[in-house]
C-alpha cells in the first residue's frame, strides 16, 4: 500500500478550522430554530430526511491517504488509528465495515453518470405527494392553487418520476399516473442525473462514505443539496412566499422554462460531484484489490 501523506498540525489545523467555520455558517439558522423549537419546510429537510447531525458534519476529515500529526482527537474517532502520534483512517477496517456499501454507492453513481439527464419532470413529484390527499405533508403551509387546482395540475401533466425515494411518498391515487414505477431494486437501473433528488442524494452518499472521503467533498455535496432543495420547494404546490420563496409556477410555460434551466445547472454541478465521489470510491476499494493481488 502507498504510505499516507503526513500533514503537520500547522498545516491541517487551519483546514479543519476553515471547515468548522463553513459548517457553522451554513447551519446557523437551522441550529437557531432548533433551539427555539421552530420548524422550516425547506431547510429542515437537510437534517430530518438526511440523518447527519450538524455536529458530525462539522468534524473535519482529510480522507484517504493522509496522516495527521499531533491529532489526538482524531485518533479517538471511529475508524481512525494512531501510530507514532499521528492519526490516519484505518482503511482496512473501513472496507471491512462499509465495503459493501461503498461498492453499491459506486455502482449507483457510475450508472447514473452514464445516462443523459431527464429534464421533463417539472418537479411534479411534490404535487403527486398531495394529489387527492385528505391532508398534506407540510400542513402549516397552504397549497398555492388549493386542493382542486393542485389536483388539476397533476391531471393535465404527464408524471415521470424516476426516483424511488420520491415516488414512495406519492399518494395512492397518484402512483398509477406515474409513467415509471421505480423500486428499490431498480434504483441503479433507473436513477438519472437530471433528477433533483438524485442530486440532493449525493450528500447522503458522501456522508455515508465519511471519513474515507474528504469533508470538503461532503460539504460541497451538502451545498448542492441545500440549493436544489430551494428549487424543489419553490416548484412545489405550496405557497411559501411568507418565508421569502418566490414560486416557480411549473403549470405555466414560463415556470417550466425556469425549472428546466435551473435543473440543467444542478445536473452539471451534480455530475462533477458524482465524478469526485466515484474517484473516492475507487481509492477506497483499491485496498481490496491490493490485498487480493499482492505484489
Given this model, what pLDDT does residue 293 score?
47
SS3 at position 139: coil
Given this model, what pLDDT does residue 99 score?
96
Per DSSP, the residues of 37-97 read: T---TTTTHHHHTS---HHHHTS----TTEEEET-HHHHTSTTEEEETTEEEE-HHHHHHH
Given this model, what pLDDT does residue 138 score?
55
Sheet containing strand 5-7, edge to edge, reads: 5-7, 66-69, 86-89, 80-83
Given this model, what pLDDT does residue 140 score?
80
Residues 61-105 have pLDDT tens digits of 999 999 999 998 888 899 999 988 899 999 999 999 999 999 999
Q: How many CA atoms lie within 13 A of 151 on its CB side?
A: 9
Residue in the block written with cell 441503479: 188
Please state, in angstroms and rounded to a whole number, the distance separating the CA atoms of residues 26 and 190: 32
Given this model, what pLDDT does residue 75 score?
85
Examine residue 211 and say whether the peptide bond preceding it is cis (omega within 30 degrees of 0): yes
Strands (E), 190-231: none
Q: Which residue stretches of the chain have pLDDT < 70?
A: 1-2, 134-139, 288-295
Amino acid at each position: 500500500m502507498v504510505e499516507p501523506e503526513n500533514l503537520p498540525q500547522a498545516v491541517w489545523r487551519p483546514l479543519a478550522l476553515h471547515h468548522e467555520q463553513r459548517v457553522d455558517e451554513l447551519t446557523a439558522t437551522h441550529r437557531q430554530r432548533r433551539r427555539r423549537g421552530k420548524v422550516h419546510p425547506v431547510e429542515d429537510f437537510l437534517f430530518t430526511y438526511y440523518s447527519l447531525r450538524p455536529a458530525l458534519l462539522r468534524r473535519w476529515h482529510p480522507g484517504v491517504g493522509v496522516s495527521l500529526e499531533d491529532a489526538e482527537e482524531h485518533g479517538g474517532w471511529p475508524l481512525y488509528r494512531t501510530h507514532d502520534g499521528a492519526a490516519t483512517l484505518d482503511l482496512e477496517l473501513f472496507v471491512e465495515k462499509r465495503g459493501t456499501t461503498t461498492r453499491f454507492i459506486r455502482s449507483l453513481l457510475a450508472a447514473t453518470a452514464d445516462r443523459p439527464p431527464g429534464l421533463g419532470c417539472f418537479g411534479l413529484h411534490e404535487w403527486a405527494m398531495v394529489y387527492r390527499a385528505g391532508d398534506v405533508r407540510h400542513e402549516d403551509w397552504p397549497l398555492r392553487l388549493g386542493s382542486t387546482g393542485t389536483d388539476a395540475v397533476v391531471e393535465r401533466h404527464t408524471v415521470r418520476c424516476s426516483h424511488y425515494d420520491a415516488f414512495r411518498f406519492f399518494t395512492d391515487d397518484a402512483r398509477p399516473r406515474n409513467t415509471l414505477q421505480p423500486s428499490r431494486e431498480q434504483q441503479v437501473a433507473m436513477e438519472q442525473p437530471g433528477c433533483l433528488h438524485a442530486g440532493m442524494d449525493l450528500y447522503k452518499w458522501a456522508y455515508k462514505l465519511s471519513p474515507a472521503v474528504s469533508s470538503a467533498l461532503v460539504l460541497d455535496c451538502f451545498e448542492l443539496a441545500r440549493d436544489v432543495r430551494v428549487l424543489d420547494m419553490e416548484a412545489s404546490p405550496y405557497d411559501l412566499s411568507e418565508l421569502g420563496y418566490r414560486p416557480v409556477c411549473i403549470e405555466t410555460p414560463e415556470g417550466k422554462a425556469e425549472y428546466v434551466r435551473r435543473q440543467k445547472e444542478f445536473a452539471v454541478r451534480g455530475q462533477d460531484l458524482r465524478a469526485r465521489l466515484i474517484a473516492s470510491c475507487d481509492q477506497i476499494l483499491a485496498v481490496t484489490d491490493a490485498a487480493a493481488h499482492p505484489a
